A and B are shown apart, each in its own frame.
Chain A
Amino acid sequence: MRPNHQFTEFEKALIASMPAEGSEAGAILSGTGLPSRRDERWKWTDVRAALREEKQSSVQSVSSRAPLLSLDQPIEFLFANGHLSQAPAGLPEGLTLSRGGDYPLFRENLPNIATEKAEATYVLTVSGKLDRPIHLRFLSEGSGMHHTSVQVVLEEGAEASIVESLEGSDGAWFANGVMRFRLAKGASLERLILQQAHDDAVQVHFAMANLAAGANFTQGTLGFGSKLCRLETQVLHEGEGARAVLNGAYLLSGRRHLDNTTDVGHTVPGCVTEELYKGVLADKGRGVFQGRFYVARDAQKTDARMAHNALLLSDEAEVDAKPELMIYADDVQCAHGNTAGALDTEALFYMRQRGLSEAQARAMLVQAFVVEAFGHISNEDVKARLMVLIETWLEAQS
């Protein structure tokens, strides 16, 4: 309980909207309010300050729009302001959709709120190898708030890929989502998160992934920020020989804010984590990177590497990074690196001497910088389309 906590209009309304009885998330919220700069893990991403005014629940429809990323034969689920408004008529073999699922109480309360307030907690279960990508499109519009909660369960040896696109039109909406991934033995999931929203939107998208022995969880992120956006992924290696890749790129212009927070726990021996984030900041863009590796005493032979590199295109941009290693085992390989720098002026001159305009040379160097974070993406088409989104962003800068 926080003494003298002055609840904002937003917090008061949110508390009032929680179920009167048996709401754990509501009880926590009434005690501590929303995360703010006073919380160590949110010190650079102050959700409370970004959401002061009361918000109504969003209307359950949005205008249709072309997907941010068009995929080859996607199995598409469309969440319109949090409401599952479109799902495929029939699902391919090996994929089922149900409601329910079990939910632990997360240490963070926003995902708990999302689970309680979402219209339903959807569960996608995959068995065998799913050839087509699952596409969850979270579309937001207007000035209300909405919550989503989706679980993805991969049975033993299952293989799938999933794209979550967080898209939105103009408006000061607040979208709060929680994803839960459970990978059974030897299962393999390729996850891609794509985020693009207007200046006024506030987004928190949280995910927790539990990996059994030999499971493979590969995640890529491409984000362009919003008024305040936090993409958080927690991974727990629970079985030996599990492997996680957490890669991401972000490009921020204007006054956009994007926070990539990751927390990977290694509790058993022989797990691998590779993490690489690349950030490009223009104007007054604000990037936040928090990466934490926890390696328990028993988690010998852990191999965990983390790097975050930021490229500052403007003097007014800001990036805050906090890589953190908490290692209690002695026979491990763990490393982290963090850099921030400007474009190489020598390379720029070289390229311009060959005839490229300054904008062309900058664009080529920025793409070369960012593309490393997509090294793990096996689908060349998807990679090319992500590069097009980056090119579009670059063109808007010049």
Chain B
Amino acid sequence: MLKIDDLHITVQETEILKGLSLEVPAGEVHAIMGPNGSGKSTLSYAITGREDYEVTQGDITLDGDSLLEMDPNERAAKGLFLSFQHPLEIPGVATMSFIRTALNAQRKARGENEVTAADFLRAIREKAKIVGLSDEKLKRPFNVGFSGGEKKRMEMLQMAMLEPRFGILDETDSGLDIDALKMVGEVVNEMRGPDRGFLVITHYQRLLDYVKPDRVHVLADGRIVESGGPEIARELEEHGYDKYIQSAA
């Protein structure tokens, strides 16, 4: 489904990803762990097409189509979703109308009908309950005055509403309480299916108790340095990244 081949990314003249290869087949959930500054968020931005993340070599494909020439919104319409490590506040932008505009823009790009206001309202109320956001929060300008945890809930709400085919969760678990962590697990597990894939970036084994990964990769110094089963996450929890950092240096 998502295939990354020998990816080199340069940000402001510094090479951050140095030949990263990774494949997530449809129906699977892969986890990425790695030390601070190793390039995990850089990878998620490169996949979703953020400006200033220059691809100097390699390719990223989704279902065999290269994403590199696509705009971020085209990639979104093709099914990519990123739960941001640090979600933004957007003052003055109404939450509901933003999410609805996003959903309809994606649908339109795919040649589907727009959702009606009534259907949208019904769906967002239901999903807001699942992620634990009150009606009052939906009426505020986007994320304005939200706590860190509430912003992560808003990311999950958008993922549930947009129903992407491939979701990237960049440290969605950081800063979440236990209930919220379970909620993330619920949302992902509910969406999991043969046509969907997920890439879950995390520092902790904890989230992986709720979202069972098919594979775990270790990213250090811009490359995948090890891949294996869920046992890798437990090993890292115990021993940290020492051996990878040395081997990478």
Contact = CB atoms under 8 A, between A and B. Distances in A.
B102 A356 contact: yes
A122 B99 CA distance: 50
Contacts of B48: 353
A369 interface: yes
A353 B82 contact: yes
Contacts of B76: 352-355
Interface string A308-352: 000000000000000000000000000000000000011101111
Interface string B89-100: 011110000110
A355 B77 contact: yes
| A358, A364, A367, A369: residue with the most chain B Cβ atoms closer than 10 Å | A364
Range class of the A interface residue count: 20 to 34
B158 A354 contact: yes
A385 to B, nearest CB: 18
A161 B98 CA distance: 33
B103 A355 contact: yes
Contacts of A32: none
A358 B90 contact: no
A358 B73 CA distance: 8
B71 interface: yes
B177 to A, nearest CB: 24
Contact of B90 (A347, A352, A355, A371): A347
A350 B88 contact: yes
A360 B105 contact: yes
A365 B93 CA distance: 7
Contact of A364 (B51, B81, B84, B93): B93
A53 B230 CA distance: 82
B19 interface: no
Interface in B104-137: 105-106, 109
A318 B237 CA distance: 55
15 contacts: A347-B90, A350-B84, A351-B102, A353-B75, A354-B98, A354-B99, A354-B102, A354-B158, A355-B77, A355-B105, A355-B162, A356-B105, A357-B71, A365-B93, A371-B92
User: 3 tightest A-B contacts by CB?
Assistant: A368-B92, A354-B102, A355-B106
